[in-house]
Amino acid sequence: MLTDMMTPTLRLGVTGLSRAGKTIFITALIRSLVSGGRLPFFLPEAEGRIERAYLEPQPDDAVPRFDYEGHLAALSRDPPDWPESTRRLSQLRVTIEYRSESALRRAFGISRLHLDVVDYPGEWLVDLPLLNMSYDAWCAEAVAQAAAPRRQAHSTAWRTFLETADPNAPQDEQIALRGAQLFGDYLRAARADDHVLHTTGPGRFLLPGDLEGSPLLTFCPLALGGDGYGRGSLAAMMARRFESYKTHVVKPFFRDHFSRLDRQIVLVDVLGPLNEGGDAIVDLEQALEAVLSVFRTGSGNWFSALFTRRIDKLLFAATKADHIHSSSHDRLEAILRVITDRAMGRAAETGAEVGVQALAALRATREAEAKVDGELLPCIVGVPMPGERIGGKVFDGRAEAAVFPGDLPANPRDALKRDAAPAGLHFVRFRPPRLLPPGIDGESPPLPNIRLDRALDFLLSDWLA
Amino acid sequence: MTSDTDNRRPRAFDPTDPALRTVSEVEPPAAEAPTSSRARRGRQAPKPTSVRPTAGHIKRGIRWGSMLLSGIAGLIALATTLWFTRYVEIALARQDWVGWIAFALLCLVGISALVLILREIIGMFRLARLGALRQEVTHALHDKDPAAERRAIGHLKRILSGRADMKWPLARFTEHERAVMTAGDLLSLADRELMMPLDQEARRTVLATAKRIGMVTAISPMPWIAMLYVMIENLRMLRAIAGLYGGRPGPLGALRLARLVVGHIIATGGVAFTDDLLGQFLGQDLLRRLSRRLGEGAFNGALTARVGAAAVEVCRPLPFISAPPVRARDMLAEAFRRNATSTRDAG
């Protein structure tokens, strides 16, 4: 009992927009810790100091458990599949038993560390910037965004509604319902059409979770004139609900899961937006910037002060590094550095240690070289997802193929040019690797990964000293 | 890597495409012999300056002094041989039992001399191979070139393969090898997985030698006996250490190695003195006041440890990257403890 209370708890924040690879990262991390993965550069493991790691029973009764076994099962299916996108919040606690480096602590026997990890839909993360936004500012931004070329087509119905709805009209539940419905439809349609689009809308409109149909979600931005709105008007009602959304949905989410972190890893899928061209990258940069700016220190709001003071190590990771050849990893890291430039600067100012890495929590490909006209093309070999296409070839999701995805720009700033054509680059999504069957000892072989060990070393090893 | 020609547009290949070759995350095709490393050395104009001479510095240059000595030695050898030949001719000419015995002895001398020379030559080659590898590793680390790193690792594995004591570390290393992608990581991994066990063994060897030398110096009745013993023990230790790292030189090779080690000690003397030996000297001064013999023993032991540490640094095919360096200071404390030779993790 006493030892349990003395055991320190490390809260690791796995932050990432949707499709950044949070779930697979957490699954691979737990798997590697629990069953002793291939982690040559995770020093506590390499030095053999980790005695064992095991999953603790769910510590928090109010939060669902992370479906670790389910995700592993999806990966071991035939053909293997990536885990489904996360629809609700869940968490898991891993306890690591290790022998300390210090003789004094070794004298007390085996040391223990709880590692708490939270998984949540990345869509909800885009709510965090709302905390610093008033209803008026949000309206202005959302309306302007709806007219942007990439979203125009989806938002036509909602924008027509905006033209008819008068913010100063008396409040009317039916109008609010209709507006919220149309707004939600627009967000979902835009998202379904374009996976790499990072909407700023409230995340619960995309994935309501348990809030389906709640009045907390019956609001939407209105085309406000500059001259304010009266009490009891439609706009006033919307603004009130916007504030309640912040108070009852966003703040608890932030308070419970982001304000008490010790370490943070920000997962960023750079390759997906790179496929789409400069606009998508700029979109990604803005979305990340908006999310990470909530974690500013000294801004005066109670939660951010609480937050940043305690995170002493922050790792930016470009995920899916197995989708390009390892000779391009440094360029991928360079692009990520440019995208997260401001956030990194802020974190470094507060004294946090910041790292940047290209990683793949689960490596789906091998490397190869192809010689074409005397030129060596660094390729990757794997099974592309069904329906993926490259250079006129469509994959069926069964046959293996070697893919040369093109060269990443040598100057990372070239990737952020607003209307840079996506030419010269095409990344194909791959199926997860086929997991080998368990050996005679009943243990499955470790999951292949790229630099997961370095990431773990950066994030955890000083707590395991 | 970046030429934006049409060749480099995204595309897919069939796994059976003849243009495709799976390189080998495990190991690149070993098309290159040690010659390539020599060629590389020639091409590299700005050689990275290193103060510490290592096995990589064994050179075959023309030196006139040694030519003169060789000439004189050759003449003496010729004279001796002539005299000896005449003597043997006479013996062999005697078609009786003395003649036959002389003939058999001659054959024995010839064969053993041949074997010795061959062994010496092979030892030299092994040492040179270590040196070439060290050069290769240094360049790979300096240029951050993953391909060169893989080649160097291939050579290292070839040197260490076939040794029973390295089987387990090699297997462990190979297991992790595929997962390593960052430049420099592979060598760092090899340093930790392959070199560190050897370092431990080397440390044990040096400790045992230092302890023996300290003891013999302290009890030997005549100084020259102690001197001779120290010399022979040191050479033996050098050979053992070189053998440990895959060198295994003959006696002449050991002498040459000794010269390198001495050079290394001189080059790093200033640092080492303040770093390792200052406290030692002060301590021995106290010890000498108690007993002169004991002080001398401690002193010789300490110097042996220093020589051993230098020898490790000279013979090691890899520089210390992630493994803790073998230092005289760490060993000295242990050398004069009772169980100096017991296995101990000096991590």
Interval A123-153: pLDDT, tens: 888 888 888 888 988 898 888 888 887 788 8
Give me the pLDDT at residue B292, please. Answer: 78
Question: In chain A, which residues have their Cβ closer than 8 Å to the Cβ of B1?
Answer: 327-328, 407
Burial of residue A410, with CB atoms counted within 10 A of its CB: 0-12 exposed, 13-18 middle, 19 or more buried? exposed
**Structure-token pair, residue A97:** 């038993």
Cα separations (Å) of A163 from A44, A141, A221, A227, A267? 62, 16, 12, 17, 39
d(CA A195, CA A384) in angstroms, rounded, equals 18
Q: Which residue of A has its CA nearest to B173?
A: A40
Confidence of residue A212 (pLDDT cuts 50, 70, 90): confident
Give me the pLDDT at residue A61, please. Answer: 85
Question: CB–CB of A370 and B181 under 8 A?
Answer: no
Closest CA to B146 of B185, B93, B113, B110: B185
Confidence of residue A122 (pLDDT cuts 50, 70, 90): confident
Angle between helix axes B292-315 and B251-267 (nearest 10 degrees) is 100
d(CA B8, CA A458) in angstroms, rounded, equals 35
Q: Can the peptide bond before residue A44 be classed as cis, meaning omega within 30 degrees of 0?
A: no
What percent of chain A shows pLDDT beyond 70? Answer: 91
- Of the two residues A283 and B71, the one the predictor is more confident about is B71
Give me the pLDDT at residue A94, please. Answer: 93
The beta-carbon neighbor of B182 closest among A372, A424, A451 is: A451
Span B295-323, pLDDT tens digits: 788 888 888 888 898 889 888 888 888 88
Confidence of residue B118 (pLDDT cuts 50, 70, 90): very high
Span A55-104, pLDDT tens digits: 988 888 888 899 998 998 888 888 888 888 888 888 899 999 999 888 88
Does B48 have pLDDT greater than 60? Answer: no
Closest CA to A338 of A386, A273, A399, A397: A273
Query: Which residue of B181, B185, B191, B192 is the best one to mutate when testing the A interface, meaning the one whose CB has the most A CBs within 10 A?
Result: B181
d(CA A236, CA A220) in angstroms, rounded, equals 12
- Are A343 and A400 spatial neighbours (Cβ–Cβ below 8 Å)? no
CA distance B215 to chain A (A): 33
**Contacts for A230 with CB less than 8 Å, ≥ 6 apart:** A168, A236
Closest CA to A430 of A395, A378, A393: A395
**Structure-token pair, residue A293:** 């700016």
**Contacts for B107 with CB less than 8 Å, ≥ 6 apart:** none
Question: CB–CB of A327 and B189 under 8 A?
Answer: no
**Predicted TM-score (pTM) of this structure:** 0.80
The beta-carbon neighbor of B2 closest among A368, A410, A428 is: A410
Confidence of residue A154 (pLDDT cuts 50, 70, 90): confident
- Return the beta strands (E) in A105-149 as ranges: 111-119
Give me the pLDDT at residue A318, please. Answer: 94
Give me the pLDDT at residue A40, please. Answer: 86
Confidence of residue B78 (pLDDT cuts 50, 70, 90): very high
Give me the pLDDT at residue A224, please. Answer: 83
ipTM: 0.71
Question: In chain A, which residues have their Cβ closer than 8 Å to the Cβ of B345?
Answer: none
Does B108 have pLDDT greater than 70? Answer: yes
Span A265-302, pLDDT tens digits: 999 999 888 888 777 888 888 888 888 877 644 334 45
d(CA B347, CA B336) in angstroms, rounded, equals 19
Cα separations (Å) of A115 from A1, A11, A318? 18, 6, 23
Helix/strand/coil for A383: coil
- Are A10 and A312 spatial neighbours (Cβ–Cβ below 8 Å)? no
- Of the two residues A355 and B99, the one the predictor is more confident about is A355
Q: Which residue of B has its CA nearest to A47?
A: B192
Q: Which of A209-213, A359-363, B200-204 has the lowest mean pLDDT?
A: A209-213
As beta bridge partners, residue A319 has none
As beta bridge partners, residue A318 has A268, A358
Confidence of residue A29 (pLDDT cuts 50, 70, 90): very high
Does A175 have pLDDT greater than 70? Answer: yes
d(CA B254, CA B234) in angstroms, rounded, equals 10
Give me the pLDDT at residue B293, please. Answer: 79
Query: Which residue of A38, A39, A41 is the best one to mutate when testing the B interface, meaning the one whose CB has the most B CBs within 10 A?
Result: A41
Give me the pLDDT at residue B110, please. Answer: 92
Does B60 have pLDDT greater than 80? Answer: no
Instruction: Enumerate long-range contacts of A439-444, CB under 8 Å, 24 or more apart.
Output: A443/A35, A444/A35, A444/A76
d(CA B27, CA B19) in angstroms, rounded, equals 19
Closest CA to A423 of B6, B49, B55, B320: B6
What value does the mean pLDDT of chain A take? 84
d(CA B73, CA A117) in angstroms, rounded, equals 77
Give me the pLDDT at residue A196, please. Answer: 59
Question: Mean pLDDT throughout B149-168?
Answer: 87
Question: CB–CB of A403 and B13 under 8 A?
Answer: yes
Question: CB–CB of B8 and A428 under 8 A?
Answer: no
d(CA B180, CA B191) in angstroms, rounded, equals 14
Q: Which residue of A has its CA nearest to B22?
A: A368
**Structure-token pair, residue A286:** 């803005």
Span B13-26, pLDDT tens digits: 887 777 777 655 44
Span A420-436, pLDDT tens digits: 655 578 888 899 988 77
Give me the pLDDT at residue B331, please. Answer: 77
What percent of chain B shows pLDDT beyond 70? Answer: 77
Q: Which residues of B touch A (CB under 8 A)?
A: 1-5, 7-15, 17, 19-23, 25, 146, 175-176, 178-182, 185, 189, 192-193
Give me the pLDDT at residue B280, please. Answer: 64
Closest CA to B288 of B277, B300, B276: B300
CA distance A234 to chain B (A): 52
Question: CB–CB of B12 and A401 under 8 A?
Answer: yes
